A = this chain, B = another copy of it.
Amino acid sequence: MKKSYLLTPGPTPLPPQVMAAAARPIIHHRTPQFQAVLKEVEEDLRYIFQTKNDVFIFASSGTGAMEAAVCNLLSSGDTVVTIEGGKFGQRWTEICRSFGVNCEVIKVEWGKAVEPKEIKSRIDRESRIKAVFTTLCETSTGVVNDIETIGKIVRESGAVLVVDAISGLGAVDLQTDRWGVDVVVAGSQKGLMVAPGLAFLSVSAKAWKLIEQAKSPKYYFDLKQAKKALDKTDTPFTSAISLIVALNEALKMLKEEGLENIFQRHKRMAQASRAAARALGLELFASTAPSDAVTAICVPVGIDGQKLVKTMRDAYGVVIAGGQAQLKGKIIRIAHMGYIDEFDLIVCIACLEKVLNQMGYKFELGVGLKASQEVFLK
């Protein structure tokens, strides 16, 4: 008997009622029965996105909706600002360049948040900037960016602000309309507690003006087609029906808890994770602005980070993430977003302590657990 515990920053575990919903007999997507589901989902998505804008649903990974943002807003030869503070910030640059879009890249040291004033100076210097692409929570480093301040800066320029909130939506606050975020991209498999395979994208009136002019080739991700369908509570192509039915359940759970409570819960989980790491003598990778969705922790000198993750997973069934790209083996990432509760985190810290101990790392057994318990009891 080996139980499994999933604490990765996407996919995240599924609530039983969401799993059960995904297993229901399939219904046809062009029926009043499915339209009723889609209508509820649309309304609840707008609540979670904190927007009055349309929220589009694609059958794709989150990256698909990132591409949708690029190919719908821009034409080859346009110039944008991209912010690279990790693997997912880099993805914006890669996608833009695939479509012939020039990128003014702001490189941010991995583990740090972008300085909003750097964005301001780029926009001031280069008047042709059509869009600024950034990331809410950079999953690869565990850092959260200050979207509210970035929103103020971008709003004053002609550019639209596009935020990859794939890792973070439904976990940390993102006030789409109040902060002036024109396009928000999200995915089903993180804070929204659904299996991967759905991606979302909200579009402001300001963004629609760019969309009207954009000439990049597109078909599957064409927002004008998607808009025509959405206006009839439909999708242009066959929906990922079972995932949308499951999403409907997950969104109801989130709405019942309420955004304020959700953010508080994630905050406490993050505090407990950080407290445990510190108590174990481990350094946080995010030196500024650690995210409430995932905690990145530096692997101590002398410990093989990849072996640590592998042993936790294969010997004990506790699945966390390692580092990506240049951080491979150097950090571990513990997710605490979506359907992960305080006792899941206790299990994770217990397992981390156990394996660190077995690997010869010196610390007093139980201090990580004690530190997190203290946070949860506050």
A60 close to B217 (CB less than 8 A): no
Chain B residues lying within 8 Å of A222, measured Cβ to Cβ, are: 98
Determine, out of A61-69, A146-154, A346-354, the stretch whose residues face the partner at the interface.
Answer: A61-69
Q: Which residues of A contact B (CB under 8 A)?
A: 4, 6, 8, 10-14, 19-20, 22-29, 31-32, 58-64, 66-67, 70-71, 76, 94-95, 98-100, 187, 189, 195-197, 216-222, 236-243, 313-314, 319, 321
Query: 30 A–B contact pairs at CB < 8 A?
Result: A6-B26, A6-B27, A8-B28, A13-B25, A13-B26, A19-B24, A19-B25, A20-B23, A22-B22, A22-B23, A58-B60, A59-B61, A60-B220, A61-B220, A61-B238, A61-B240, A63-B238, A64-B64, A64-B220, A64-B237, A66-B220, A71-B217, A94-B219, A98-B217, A187-B238, A189-B241, A196-B241, A197-B242, A220-B221, A240-B243
Which of chain B's residues has its CB closest to A26's CB? Answer: B11
Determine which residue in A13, A76, A319 has the highest number of CB atoms from chain B within 10 A of its CB, and name it.
A319
A24–B12 Cα gap in the complex (Å)? 13
A23–B71 Cα gap in the complex (Å)? 34
A64–B10 Cα gap in the complex (Å)? 23
Interchain residue pairs A-B with the least CB separation, the first 5: A197-B240, A23-B23, A195-B242, A61-B237, A98-B219
- A22 touching B98 in the complex, CB below 8 Å, given contacts A31-B313, A220-B67, A319-B31: no
A238 close to B22 (CB less than 8 A): no
Chain B residues lying within 8 Å of A314, measured Cβ to Cβ, are: 32
Partner of A196, one of B59, B70, B76, B221: B59
A196 close to B6 (CB less than 8 A): no
A11 close to B196 (CB less than 8 A): no
B10 close to A25 (CB less than 8 A): no
Partner of A240, one of B8, B25, B196: B196
Partner of A238, one of B27, B189, B218, B239: B189
Copies of this chain in its oligomeric complex: 2
Chain B residues lying within 8 Å of A26, measured Cβ to Cβ, are: 6, 11-14, 189, 195-196
A218–B26 Cα gap in the complex (Å)? 32
A218 close to B28 (CB less than 8 A): no
Chain B residues lying within 8 Å of A12, measured Cβ to Cβ, are: 26
- A6 touching B25 in the complex, CB below 8 Å, given contacts A60-B59, A98-B217, A217-B99: yes
Q: Distance in Å from the Cβ of A82 to the closest Cβ of chain B?
A: 14
A216–B10 Cα gap in the complex (Å)? 31
Q: Distance in Å from the Cβ of A200 to the closest Cβ of chain B?
A: 14
Which of chain B's residues has its CB closest to A99's CB? Answer: B217
B63 close to A237 (CB less than 8 A): yes
B71 close to A64 (CB less than 8 A): no
Which of chain B's residues has its CB closest to A101's CB? Answer: B217
Partner of A64, one of B25, B29, B60, B63: B60
Chain B residues lying within 8 Å of A237, measured Cβ to Cβ, are: 61-64
Chain B residues lying within 8 Å of A239, measured Cβ to Cβ, are: 61, 196
Chain B residues lying within 8 Å of A243, measured Cβ to Cβ, are: 195, 197, 240, 242-243
A17–B48 Cα gap in the complex (Å)? 33
Which of chain B's residues has its CB closest to A11's CB? Answer: B26
Which of chain B's residues has its CB closest to A32's CB? Answer: B314
B98 close to A29 (CB less than 8 A): no
A195 close to B11 (CB less than 8 A): no
A221–B8 Cα gap in the complex (Å)? 25
Determine which residue in A14, A26, A27 has the highest number of CB atoms from chain B within 10 A of its CB, and name it.
A26
B219 close to A67 (CB less than 8 A): yes
